[in-house]
Structure 1
Amino acid sequence: MPDGRDETPDERADRNWEELMQELRVMQTGTQILTGFLLAVAFQPRFAELDDVQRSLYVVLVLLAAAATALALAPVGLHRMLFAQRRKPELVRMTSRLLKANLIVVGAVTVGVTALILDVTIDRTSALIAAGIGVVVVFALWAGLPLMMRSRERDRR
């Protein structure tokens, strides 16, 4: 869709690729911090004190963190496999989809880690309340706000 820029399709793909890479760098840092935290938890003395719900949540969070890592690294693998094959527009589209999927996974990990910490340090009720609020906040910021901005842009036109 034309946006007023004077660029070729290849230039547009290159620009979009660079923007995606910047987003990916931010996402990878957050994912690495969350994953590192989760991996360290299992080696803490208090880990044995977790109840079945906490331990199950922990395992789910580790699996989600692993999925987030795989999703964040997938564009790198795609780029390596498709490098110099003149498929940048296709690569940009697929990477954009992977990053959107990863936002969902990272949001789930973020909310889950918060819930786990509050469950261990305060109580389950606080954890459930925080998880509920976290889901609403993540959804509002990552989906609701962009949808609202799109709607306002359409209305403005």
Structure 2
Amino acid sequence: MTDEQQPRAARYHRPEEDEGERLDRQWIELLQELRLAQTGTQILFAFLLGIAFTPVFQDADAFTHDVYAGTLVASALATGLFLAPVSFHRIVFQHKVRDKMIPIAARMTSAGLAILMVAISGGLLLVLDVVLNRTTAIITVAVVLAWFVGFWYVLPAWVRRSSGAAE
């Protein structure tokens, strides 16, 4: 039986692991996911911070400024959520609360991914609004957003449901 075919509880609690080893493994897996998400989000945030100081942006219309503000805030929130598990760990380190910390950190990461999807879409809209007409830019971003939702949420949910894995 492959790892994916095992019931969810069996995948996350391997018989050869004690509780401490399982929590260590889950924390390491979460940190690996965060490393990837943090890097891209921080690059997007840095890029957005510089845009406001360009002469072209200062002459842009209210729509562009509004999209920019929303995208910048979403990017900041996503960055904060991806860094939050690190801060959380530093504060509770050696207080024997990994069993509580890991599920909370996982939820922070999931929320960060949802907000990152908004930030990426906003950044894409800022750029496409310059190179395409506004209507085409908005439609294109809506399609890209649907693509993200499909691959980040719908496909994993479908795989989980079709594999018979418990919630």
- Using the size of structure 2 for normalisation, the TM-score is 0.88
Match of 2:81 in 1: 71
Task: Tell me, in whole angstroms, the C-alpha distance in 1 between the residues paired with 2:27 and 2:99.
Answer: 8
Matched to 1:67, the amino acid is L
Task: Tell me, in whole angstroms, the C-alpha distance in 1 between the residues paired with 2:32 and 2:131.
Answer: 35
Matched to 2:121, the amino acid is V
Q: Residue deviations 1:71-113, cap 9 Å, x none?
A: 1111011101100111112111001000000010000001111
Check the 8 A contact 1:114/1:130 in 2, yes or no.
no
- Is 1:118 the counterpart of 2:128 in the alignment? yes
Runs of 4+ in 1 over 3 A off after TM superposition: none
Task: Tell me, in whole angstroms, the C-alpha distance in 1 between the residues paired with 2:79 and 2:26.
Answer: 22
Give the 3-state SS of the residue equivalent to 2:163 in structure 1.
Answer: helix
2:148 to 119, 138, 146: 138
Task: Tell me, in whole angstroms, the C-alpha distance in 2 between the residues paired with 1:49 and 1:123.
Answer: 17
Task: Tell me, in whole angstroms, the C-alpha distance in 1 between the residues paired with 2:103 and 2:118.
Answer: 23
- Using the size of structure 1 for normalisation, the TM-score is 0.94
Match of 2:3 in 1: none
Deviation at 1:152, TM superposition (A): 2.0
Task: Tell me, in whole angstroms, the C-alpha distance in 2 between the residues paired with 1:41 and 1:133.
Answer: 25
Matched to 1:82, the amino acid is V
- Is 1:16 the counterpart of 2:16 in the alignment? no
User: For the aligned residues, what is the CA RMSD?
Assistant: 1.3
5+ residue gaps, structure 1, are: none
Give the 3-state SS of the residue equivalent to 2:34 in structure 1.
Answer: helix
Match of 1:103 in 2: 113
Identical amino acids, percent of aligned pairs: 36
- State which drifts further: 93-102 or 1-10: 1-10
Higher relative contact order by CA 8 Å / sep ≥ 6: 1 or 2?
2
Task: Tell me, in whole angstroms, the C-alpha distance in 1 between the residues paired with 2:151 and 2:70.
Answer: 24
- Is 1:2 the counterpart of 2:10 in the alignment? yes
Q: How many residues align?
A: 155
Q: Residue deviations 1:107-143, cap 9 Å, x none?
A: 0001111111111222211211112102211100110
5+ residue gaps, structure 2, are: 1-8
Task: Tell me, in whole angstroms, the C-alpha distance in 2 between the residues paired with 1:48 and 1:77.
Answer: 36
Give the 3-state SS of the residue equivalent to 2:86 in structure 1.
Answer: helix
